């Protein structure tokens, strides 16, 4: 018989730049072990997941991470008093810090999370990537952090254009000259603050790995993928699982060295000389995780089990050549639902 559990999930923004919430939910709903009630936690009132009642049983609005953890905890206490949440899976980069800081308090409320430690989270930050690469002997592009527009003109000579301009949490643009760097700097910093990371542009094919570490250094699952088509926002529209031993090795090495705890996505560039550069470690499950589920590795289910303290055997295999193709779909809903959410904060 399936076990009844309640899982709260953020990242219901299943838009053209999707959050991982809905794919994570699909993975958990596919589980043969759990009979799950899904509580959606939404920041904005048009996150599509709120209105996807097949996936999300009930949604509550929660305060933005920028408000601080006290407000978040207060709101979660209220939600938990009604829903009795077993596991909470945050899916936004920008909120992870707040949830990691709050994880002890959440556990006292009976809410389990399975997140990286603050140390893991900090050292893999884009701004710290160069040191990260040195420490763990992983190739990374040269990069530096800047804090003001003026810094753009004093960038080290070692940079040659084009360069990548990246935000602390989100957004990455390519710039071919200082003027473009300035434009992207202002655009990104107004949204996500400073620092802005200026990164060497490395030519090659972008490949990704979705992986899950159990916190002891063991890799529970890892599936490599190449994006087959990329939208103008840089998001994969279609992707295919790869048989690439080097990528898996790099993933295992990273997880072992950092004792990574939780879901992650490695963004890599494979150069024409067959070298792999680590561009970024996203400290959470990526939006394309359902490809891994489809290929035989249910990472969301495994993460829920790890959060609940269960011992999970590593996945040893996945199906190569599985593809995902994203599509969009127009949900029809009534203004009454929008009204209810806007006035009560619940739906």
Query: With contacts defined by CB under 8 A, how many residues of the chain interact with other proteins?
Result: 37
Under rule CB under 8 A, which residues in 115-134 are in contact with other proteins? 122
Q: Is 16 in the site for other proteins (CB under 8 A)?
A: no
- Binding string, residues 41-70; x marks residues near other proteins by CB under 8 A: --xxxx--------------xxxxxxxxxx
Q: Is 345 in the site for other proteins (CB under 8 A)?
A: yes
Q: How many residues does the chain have?
A: 347
Nearer to other proteins by Cβ, of 70 and 310: the residue is 70
Nearer to other proteins by Cβ, of 121 and 318: the residue is 121
Look-up of token digits 């707040």: 98
CA distance 42 to 24: 15
Q: Is 260 in the site for other proteins (CB under 8 A)?
A: no
Nearer to other proteins by Cβ, of 192 and 237: the residue is 192
Q: How far is the CB of 221 from other proteins (least distance, A)?
A: 30
Nearest CA to 129 among 118, 117, 143, 119? Answer: 143
Nearest CA to 289 among 264, 311, 262? Answer: 264
Q: How far is the CB of 341 from other proteins (least distance, A)?
A: 9
CA distance 293 to 234: 22
Nearer to other proteins by Cβ, of 128 and 180: the residue is 128
Q: Is 189 in the site for other proteins (CB under 8 A)?
A: yes
Neighbouring-strand partners of residue 40: 9, 59
**Which residues touch 174 (CB under 8 Å, ≥6 apart)?**
162, 163, 164, 165, 201
Nearer to other proteins by Cβ, of 67 and 228: the residue is 67
Nearest CA to 278 among 168, 123, 138? Answer: 138
Under rule CB under 8 A, which residues in 310-339 are in contact with other proteins? 335, 338-339
Nearer to other proteins by Cβ, of 2 and 340: the residue is 340
Sign of CA dihedral 256, 306, 263, 190: negative
Q: Is 92 in the site for other proteins (CB under 8 A)?
A: no
CA distance 40 to 55: 9
- Binding string, residues 24-43; x marks residues near other proteins by CB under 8 A: -------------------x
Q: Is 90 in the site for other proteins (CB under 8 A)?
A: no
Q: How far is the CB of 74 from other proteins (least distance, A)?
A: 5
Q: Is 155 in the site for other proteins (CB under 8 A)?
A: no
Q: How far is the CB of 104 from other proteins (least distance, A)?
A: 14
Binding site for other proteins (CB under 8 A): 43-46, 61-71, 74-75, 94, 97-98, 101, 122, 145, 147, 168-169, 189, 192-194, 335, 338-339, 342-345
């Amino acid at each position: 018989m399936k076990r009844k559990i309640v899982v709260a999930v953020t990242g219901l923004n299943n838009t053209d730049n999707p959050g991982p919430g809905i794919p994570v939910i699909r993975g958990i709903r596919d589980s043969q072990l759990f009979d799950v009630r899904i509580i959606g936690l939404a920041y904005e009132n048009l996150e599509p997941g709120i209105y996807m009642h097949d996936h999300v049983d009930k949604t509550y609005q929660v305060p933005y991470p920028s408000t601080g953890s006290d407000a978040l905890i207060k709101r979660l206490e209220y939600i938990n008093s009604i829903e009795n949440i077993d596991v909470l899976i945050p899916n936004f980069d920008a909120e992870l810090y707040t949830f990691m800081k709050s994880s002890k308090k959440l556990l006292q409320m009976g809410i389990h999370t399975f997140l990286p430690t603050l140390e893991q989270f900090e050292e893999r930050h884009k701004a710290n990537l160069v040191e990260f690469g040195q420490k763990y002997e992983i190739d990374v592009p040269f990069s530096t952090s800047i804090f003001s527009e003026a810094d753009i003109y004093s960038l080290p000579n070692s940079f040659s254009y084009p360069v990548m301009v990246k935000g602390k949490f989100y957004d990455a643009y390519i710039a071919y000259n200082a003027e473009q760097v300035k434009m992207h700097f202002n655009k990104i910093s107004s949204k996500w603050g400073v620092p802005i990371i200026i990164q060497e542009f490395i030519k090659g094919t972008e490949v990704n790995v979705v992986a899950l570490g159990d916190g002891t250094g063991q890799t529970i699952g890892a599936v490599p993928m190449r994006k087959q088509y990329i939208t103008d926002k840089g998001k994969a529209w279609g992707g295919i699982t790869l048989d690439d031993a080097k990528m898996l090795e790099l993933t295992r090495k990273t997880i072992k060295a950092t004792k990574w705890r939780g879901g992650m996505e490695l963004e890599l560039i494979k150069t024409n000389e067959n070298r792999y550069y680590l561009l970024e470690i996203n400290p959470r499950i990526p939006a394309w995780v359902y490809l891994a589920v489809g290929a035989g590795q249910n990472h969301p289910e495994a993460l829920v089990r790890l959060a609940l303290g269960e011992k999970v055997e590593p996945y040893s295999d996945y199906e190569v050549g599985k593809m995902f193709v994203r599509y969009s779909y127009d949900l029809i809903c009534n203004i009454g639902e929008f009204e209810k959410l806007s006035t009560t904060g619940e739906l």
